Amino acid sequence: MNIQFFLTGWLLSIVFLSLIRLKWAVALFVAYLMLVPYINLGIPGFGSGDNLIKLILVFGFFLEHRKQHTLKVSFKPYVPFIFYFSISLIMIPFQSSVPMGEMIDAWRKDVMNILLLPIVMYNLMRTDPSSVKLFRNTMIVCIFIAIGYGLFLTLLGGINPYIMYFLTLIDTEIDYEAYYDASGGGRLFGRISSVFIHPMTFALFIGLAFLYVFYIMKKIWKVVSITLFTAIGVMAVLCGVRSVIGGLAVAAIYYFVIGRNYRLMFGSILIGLIGMFVITFIPDLSDYLASIVDINNESGSVRGSSIEMRMNQLEGAIDEALANPLFGLGYGWTTYYQNMYGEHPICLCFESLLFVVICNSGIIGLLLWAYMIWRFMVTNYKLRLKQVVIVNALIVFYISYSFITGEYAYMKIFLVFYTLMLGESIEMILVPSPKNTKLIDNSSDYLLSMDRNSKS
């Protein structure tokens, strides 16, 4: 069967189900976003087509709940991100290094690409508790497929047949095959991208998946959770992107310290020491992991960024932003620059969230991101989420990972995992127990009152 024919059928099924069985449409779309790196409906004005499908999902949500007269939309968990995008839009007239039309168009695409799906998922789970389990099982399957295929790719020395097929459909000048290659660079298995085009995106997925499985481990079979933890942990070591280990380490420190989980901390340290001892008998892998703390890249066994190189890049980002230090050079300027001129002579591909924010939005952008992170954590506490420290560790990982690698459409994947965690806390409220079968009838009122109480 032609794979394009199959994918077209998959997308058309999502459109059809959006009008009759919304939760299945959303589940299929989440699976598509996680597992398929290419989407093209061929409709002018809607780019690749993913934002068009998200609009159809929004329409399906309003249509379904309008018929049932149960439409009660909540934006509470996403207020920090809505605030970020609102201020970013207000800043555009004060930025001039990117054409106004391109900034507004980039802003529109980002809002649709990042916020629409999570908001639909969240409100669907609030009104239909059965969707929580469906979305959970969908993501578990996606994790199994992505991690399983990633482990398989370690046997191929950096070759990725699945992605190579899709690259023939995408207009790109980047030689990904050479980038994935295992020869040279000190990466024993090459850079593994699994079902994603870029290994950095897959590494982000690995870290988010690890924290998500940790969050739901009591709701899934023990053999499933153990298998997933083991596979994700091994993949984090073998994927060829050291940043995922650093990001998870920062998230773990946050979880241990803020959550005061000292027993688990010492147990994790013990397991880590045993793992390090075993790895010393694998020289290539040992050199690769040791390069994580070789911040000056003095050994030269694994090619990567040194602290000196990063400081030069920071100076380069600051020099660029001096043209408009308060508001920055423009919404999406770093992407605009690379599309126009290629790599920056100093900042290269702007491989840090810090560089991106400094260049794009200046001092106000730095303050805006700091406020968004703080507000995100406060909101989660006010929503009284179950295991809120793990939920907040999710953004700690996302920020620390992006700080090391850049921000290449990471936020949309992060918000999907965050929304799934929100759903697990919603299910705790919605699903009735033998002692109180009225919970499911009163769930919408309870959630609304919870939102109102959180504002006080």
Tokens standing for 422? 């929100």
Residue 184 is predicted with a pLDDT of: 56
Task: Calculate the CA dihedral of residues 373, 374, 380, 383 and round it to 10 degrees.
Answer: -130
| Six-digit token string for 276 | 């390090």
Give the predicted TM-score (pTM) of the model: 0.88
Q: How far apart are CA 81 and CA 110, in angstroms?
A: 11
Long-range contacts of 298-302 (CB under 8 A, 24+ apart): 301/186, 302/185, 302/186, 302/187, 302/242
Token readout for 424 is 């697990």
Q: Cα separation of 365 and 303, whole Å?
A: 31
**62-66, 68-72, 120-124: lowest mean pLDDT where?**
68-72
Q: Which of 137, 106, 166, 107 lies closest to 26, judged by CA?
A: 137
Mean pLDDT of 265-290: 70
Residue 455: pLDDT band with limits 50, 70, 90: very low
CA distance 350 to 341: 13
Q: Does residue 429 carry a pLDDT above 70?
A: no
- What percentage of the chain exceeds 70 in pLDDT? 82
Q: What is the mean pLDDT of the chain?
A: 85
Query: Where along the chain do its domains lie?
Result: 136-323+338-425
3-state secondary structure 106-148: HHHHHHHHHHHHHHHHHHHHHHCCHHHHHHHHHHHHHHHHHHH
DSSP 330: -
**302, 310 contact by CB (below 8 A):** no
pLDDT tens digits for 386-416? 899 999 999 999 999 999 999 888 999 999 9
Q: Residue 415 burial (CB < 10 Å; 0-12/13-18/19+)?
A: buried
Confidence tier at 453 by pLDDT (50, 70, 90) = very low
Place of tokens 């990904």: 176
- Identity of residue 233: G
> What's the Rg (C-alpha) of the chain?
22
The more confidently predicted of residues 368 and 47 is: 368
First to last CA, the chain: 57
C-beta separation of 267 from 217 below 8 A: no
- The answer to whether 292 and 245 have CB atoms below 8 angstroms apart is yes
CA separation for the pair 101, 103 (Å, rounded):
5
Per-residue confidence (pLDDT) for residue 454, from 0 to 100: 45
d(CA 38, CA 403): 27
**Residue 433 in 3-state DSSP?**
strand
